[in-house]
Structure 1
Amino acid sequence: MPLLFIGYVVAYLDRVNVGFAKLQMLNDLHFSEAMYGFGAGIFFVGYFFFEVPSNLLMHRVGARRWIARIMVTWAVISAATAWVTSPTMFYVLRFVLGIAEAGFFPGLVLYLTYWFPAQRRGKMVAFLMAGNPVSGIVGGPVSGLILQRLAGHGGMAGWQWLFIIEALPALVLGVVIYFFLDDRVKDAKWLAEHEREHIQREIDAEARTKSHSSVGQTFSSAKVWLCCAILFGIVMGSYAVGFWQPTIIRTSGIKDPFTIGLLTIVPYLYALISMILVGRHADRTRERRWHVVIPQLVAASGFVVCAFAGTNPWIALLGLTMAATGVVTALPMFWALPTSFLGGAGAAAGIALINSTGNLAGFVSPAVVGWLKTMTHSLNSSLFLIAGCLCLSALLILTRMPARLVNR
Structure 2
Amino acid sequence: MDAIAPQNTVGSQPSATLYRKIAWRIMPLLMLCYVAAYLDRVNISFAKLQMSRDLAFSDTIFGLGSGIFFLGYFLFEVPSNLALNRIGARVWIARIMITWGLISAAFAWVETPAAFYTLRFLLGAAEAGFYPGIILYLTYWFPSHRRARMVALFMSAIPLSGIFGSPLSGWIMDGMAGIAGWAGWQWMFVLEAVPAILLGLVVLRWLEDSAERARWLTEEEKTRLSVELDADNAHKPPRGSARDAFADPRVWLMCLIYFCFVMGQYGVTFWLPSFIRNTGVASNLAIGLLSAIPFLTAVLAMNLLGRSADARRERRWHLALPALTAATGFVAVALFPDSTALSLLALCLAAAGVLSCAPLFWSLPTAFLSGGAAAAGIAIINSVGNLAGFASPFLVGTLKDLTGSNAISLTLLALCLVIGALAVLRIPAALVNR
TM-score w.r.t. structure 1 length? 0.99
Do residues 384 (structure 1) and 421 (structure 2) align?
no
1:331 is aligned to 2:358: yes
Q: 1:129 Cα shift?
A: 0.4
Residue number in structure 2 paired with 1:19: 45
Does residue 288 of structure 2 align to residue 268 of structure 1? no
Corresponding residue to 2:305 among 261, 265, 278: 278
Q: Name the aligned partner's letter for residue 86 of structure 1.
A: T
Matches for 1:88-237 after TM superposition, within 5 Å: 88-211=114-237, 212-237=239-264
Gap regions ≥5 residues in structure 1: none
Counterpart among 228, 234, 243 of residue 270 in structure 2? 243
Per-residue CA deviations over 1:153-196 (Å, capped at 9, x if unaligned) read 11010011111000000000000001110000011111121111
Distance 2:231 2:430 in 1: 19
Find the partner of 2:380 among 353, 358, 362: 353
Amino acid at match of 1:273: L
Give the counterpart letter for 1:152 in structure 2.
Answer: G
Deviation track 1:221-245 (CA, whole Å, cap 9, x = no partner) reads 1100000000001000100101000
Deviations, residues 240-294 of structure 1 (Å, cap 9, x unaligned): 1010000000001101100000001110111001111110000000000011100
CA deviation digits over 1:14-56, x for unaligned, max 9? 1100000000001111111000000001000000010000000
Q: Using the alignment, how far apart are the partners of 2:139 and 2:28 within structure 1?
A: 17
Unmatched segments (≥5 aa) in structure 2: 1-26
Q: Please identify runs of 4+ aligned residues in structure 1 that moved more than 3 A.
A: none
For 1:343 and 1:207, locate their aligned partners in 2 and report how far apart those are by CA, in whole Å.
8
How far the C-alpha of 1:217 sits from its partner, in A, is: 1.8
Q: Following the alignment from structure 2 to structure 1, what is the Cα–Cα distance between the partners of residues 264 and 188?
A: 25
For the residues of structure 2 that align with 1:132 and 1:75, how far apart are their CA atoms?
A: 17
Match of 1:365 among 373, 392, 416: 392
- In the TM superposition, what are the counterparts of 1:287-298 in structure 2 within 5 Å? 287-298=314-325
**TM-score (norm: length of structure 2):** 0.93
Identity among equivalent pairs (%): 55
AA at the equivalent of 1:125: V
Q: CA deviation at 1:205?
A: 2.0
* Superposition CA RMSD, Å: 0.7
What residue identity is the alignment partner of 1:151?
Answer: A
Which amino acid is the alignment partner of residue 57 of structure 1?
A
For the residues of structure 2 that align with 1:2 and 1:168, how far apart are their CA atoms?
Answer: 18
C-alpha displacement of 1:201: 1.2
**Which letter does structure 1 place at the counterpart of 2:386?**
N
**Secondary structure at the residue paired with 2:271?**
helix
Partner of 2:72: 46
Counterpart Cα distance in 1 of 2:100 and 2:265: 21
**Residue 342 of structure 1 is aligned with which of 360, 366, 369?**
369
Pairwise CA distance, 1:200 = 1.3
3-state SS of 1:378 partner: coil
Deviation at 1:66, TM superposition (A): 0.2
CA distance in 2, matches of 1:283, 1:308: 36
Q: Deviations 1:354-405 (Å, cap 9, x if unpaired)?
A: 0000000000000111110110011111100000000001011112x11111
SS state at 1:264 partner: helix
**2:109 matches 1:83:** yes
Q: CA deviation at 1:204?
A: 1.9
Question: How many residues in Structure 1 have an aligned counterpart in Structure 2?
Answer: 407
Letter in 1 for 2:424: I
Which residue of structure 1 aligns with residue 430 of structure 2? 404
Give the whole-Å Cα distance in 1 for the aligned partners of 2:421 and 2:28. 31
Structure 2 residue 84 is matched with structure 1 residue 58 = yes
